[in-house]
Each structure stands twice: as structure tokens, then as C-alpha cells.
Amino acid sequence: MEFTAAMIARILNGTVEGDPETKLNTVARIEEGHPGALSFLSNLKYEPYLYTTGASAVLVKNDFIPVKEVAVTLIRVDDPYQALARLLAFYEKARPVKKGIHPTAVIDEQTTVGEEVFIGACAVISENAVIGEGCKIHPQVYIGENVQIGKNCTLHPGVKIYRDSIIGNDCIIHAGAVIGADGFGFAPVSDANFMKIPQIGNVIIEDNVEIGSNTCIDRATMGSTVIRRGVKLDNLIQVGHNVEIGENTVIAAQSGLAGSTRVGRNCMFGGQVGLAGHLSIANGCKIGAQSGIMSTISEENSILLGSPATDSKQFLKSVVYIRKLPELSSRVDALTKTVESLKNK
């Protein structure tokens, strides 16, 4: 598909600075721009590329003032990053929509399937499942007994949804994710043996949730593991049994949440964050990458770093001292020698 800069500006409620007839047919990072590509400048550390990019047009903020002459066409918008997201969503909607049921799909007679649904090759949908209208079930997806899936959901290839799980509207689950597997529940019966505790609960995923590839969300021992509306989970995340993640919380890859943890709304976790079980995280907390949370965080909007995690300012001060440890160790050794010398005298 090809657009002009003027057409892009109309879609984004922006203004054109330069040639409004500039032809655009793809997007590219500003440092990798080439003719026909639309790039964006959101983080000003990439500003030097604006003056050398090969892109045909660049999205910039309305109040951006270049320090050099700019050869490319600029499209000024309120927020370049959000504008790019809107533009890509517009492009995605313009793509042909898959519909129909592949003849190799296995669908139980007691399944309810809504209108305008796509079900790909070798997908399996078990008895009493409900698939809402407009859903896209890609090849080799497995949907267990009594699963309920709302409207306009997309399940990418190889997703596995275990029995009794409930998924809301407008959710996206990426390839290889597993929803509703048994929680990690075992009771010690001797020094070397464990008895499996049956996991009889389920998983509830509310509306507008996106779950990354190979992420696992365990079913509850009793009750429900709950992912609230608007949550975004990256790839390779482990969510334990009976966890609850609050609205609009975002968690990056390789993080792990142990059983019965409660995470508030509007939280942000970096990659490889680990949470111990049976604790709570207050609303709005931000936790840096590779941090380990060992106890409840009660203060809202806390910013935490390190393992075990502490207040970010205290952690950064500690890092300064850690870097000085070799120097401090040498000074202590020298002082020790001086003291011993004085004692001998």
C-alpha cells in the first residue's frame, strides 16, 4: 500500500512540513531509513539521525525544533510514538481478514462458535467451549472443555487453553502460550516424596489483554488466577497459581510471579523480575530489570531496583559504594598494616 505524507497527516491529525506529495509505502527505524520509508523521532538521543536518514518522511513532535537543516519531509504530531502505533493499527486493519473453518480442524458438536470466525488447520476445540464472534483461532491451537473466549480474540499458532479458562474480549495470545496448566502444588509426605495437590481452579483473563509467546499462566489451586483488563505480558513469563495482576500492568520478558501474589494496577516490571509468593505490590509501582521482590510493597508508585529490591535512590547510592570496594579494601589493608606497625612500636 502506498500513501502520501498528506494522507498520513490526515489520518494522524498532524501537519506536513515539506512535500505533502512524498510517497510512503513502508516504515523503518530512523537510523535505517530508506526511500519510501516513514520513520519517527521520539527519543531525542536519535536526533542526529534526522539529518542523515534516508527515509522519505519522519514523524516528529509539534514543538520539535531542528538544530540543522532537514532534507526529509516532516509530519508533526502530538506524540510520534503513539502516532506510529495508530498508523500501524490502521495498516493492520486494512489487511485481508481470514475467515472460515479449515477442514482439518476438530470441533466438538457441543461447541458454540460465533459468526465471522476463523479456525485454522489442525485446531482442536473441545466440548462445551464457547468461541465469540470475530475470533481468529490459528493452526494447532488447543482449546479445552468449558473454555469461554469472548469477541474478537486472536490465538496464534500452538496456543493451549486448558479446561474452564475464561478469556474476555479483544485479547491476543501469542504462539506457544499455555493458559490454565496445573499450578506448582505439592505437599511433602516424607523426606524424599511429594504428593501432588489437585489444581481445581481456573484462569480468568479480562478484556484487552495481550500475552506473549511461551508465557505460562497456571490455573488456581482453588478459585481463580486473574489477569485484569488491559494487562500486557511479554514473552516467557511465568504466572503462578492464584496470582492476580491488576489493570493495565505491564510486565517484560522472563519475569516470574510465584503463587498467590497480588500485583496492583498500572505497575511496570522490567525483564527478569522475580516475585516471591504470597505478597502484594501496591498500585503504580515500577520495578527495574532483574530485581527480586521478597516482601510486600505497600507504598504506591514505589520505584525499586536490585535483589533483594530496595528504593531506587538507595540502590543507586549502594552501587556507587560497591564500585569503590576495591579501593576501600586497599585502604583498609594499608590502615591495618599501619595500626599493626604502631602496636609493635
Active site residues per annotation: 241
Q: Per DSSP, what are the bridge partners of residue 15? A: 76
Cell output for 93: 486493519
Instruction: Name residue 157's amino acid.
Output: P
**281 phi and psi angles, rounded to 5 deg:** -115, 125
Residue 219, burial from CB neighbour count under 10 angstroms (0-12, 13-18, 19+): buried
CB 189 within 8 A of CB 195: yes
**310 phi and psi angles, rounded to 5 deg:** -135, 175
Classified as helix, coil or strand, 318 is helix
CB 94 within 8 A of CB 1: yes
Contacts of 86 (CB under 8 A, 6+ apart): 11, 12
CB 154 within 8 A of CB 173: yes
CB 41 within 8 A of CB 50: yes
